[in-house]
């Protein structure tokens, strides 16, 4: 019995030590698998009124009068609620619509599509997977290679410049901007 207890103690110690030494505390890691969405009350405290109305009430911000429609810096766009990586400046293009437009998502698994009938005819809405934030809509009038236009509300996004990817926990996307 003493040998079993000694073996368990040794294994526990080895596991604890290896866990401590394998962590990289300087680099925050973004994981969304364990994401728990804040309550509506918490979201109202965290988000601006516009961010809340767009992401939680499916509203649309004003074209040409939003933060990222004309953003030209290299970086990625993440969900303002969950931090899910959604789009990259490498896939952004000037659509002339007044909203940030992308021809594909950065991580297809972080966006989901839903049909809405708000304007009578069906449209394809884009939402973030984990936070279920309303992002915008997809249209079939985009450039090659996809022919799609992800027309996204700036209020649903946080921009992470390429120089801050590591600090913000998105280091795995840095290679997109190595030229």
Task: Give the residue numbers annotated as catalytic, written as ranges.
Answer: 151
The number of angstroms, rounded, from the C-alpha of 30 to the middle of its chain's C-alpha atoms is 10
Do 61 and 163 form a contact (C-beta atoms < 8 A)? no
98-130 as b/e: b if 16+ CB within 10 A: ebbbbbebbbeebbeeeeeeeeeeebebbbbbb
3-state secondary structure of 23: coil
Q: How far apart are CA 37 and CA 79, in angstroms?
A: 12
Residue that has been written with the tokens 């890691």 in this structure: 29
Instruction: For residue 176, give the nearest of 70, 93, 89 by alpha carbon.
Output: 89
């Amino acid at each position: 019995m003493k040998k079993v207890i000694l073996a368990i103690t040794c294994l526990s110690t080895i596991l604890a030590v290896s866990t401590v030494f394998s962590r990289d505390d300087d680099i925050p890691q973004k994981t969304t698998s364990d994401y728990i969405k804040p309550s509506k009350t918490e979201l109202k405290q965290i988000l601006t009124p516009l961010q809340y109305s767009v992401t939680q009430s499916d509203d649309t911000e004003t074209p040409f009068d939003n933060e990222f429609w004309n953003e030209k810096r290299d970086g990625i766009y993440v969900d303002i609620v969950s931090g899910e990586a959604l789009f990259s400046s490498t896939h952004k293009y000037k659509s002339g619509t007044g909203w940030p437009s992308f021809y594909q998502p950065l991580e297809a698994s972080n966006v989901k599509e839903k049909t809405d009938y708000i304007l009578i005819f069906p449209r394809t809405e884009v939402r973030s997977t984990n936070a279920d934030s309303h992002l915008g809509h997809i249209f079939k009038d985009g450039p090659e290679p996809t022919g799609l236009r992800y027309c996204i509300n700036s209020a649903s996004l946080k921009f992470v410049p390429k120089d801050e990817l590591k600090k913000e926990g998105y280091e795995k996307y840095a290679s997109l901007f190595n030229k």
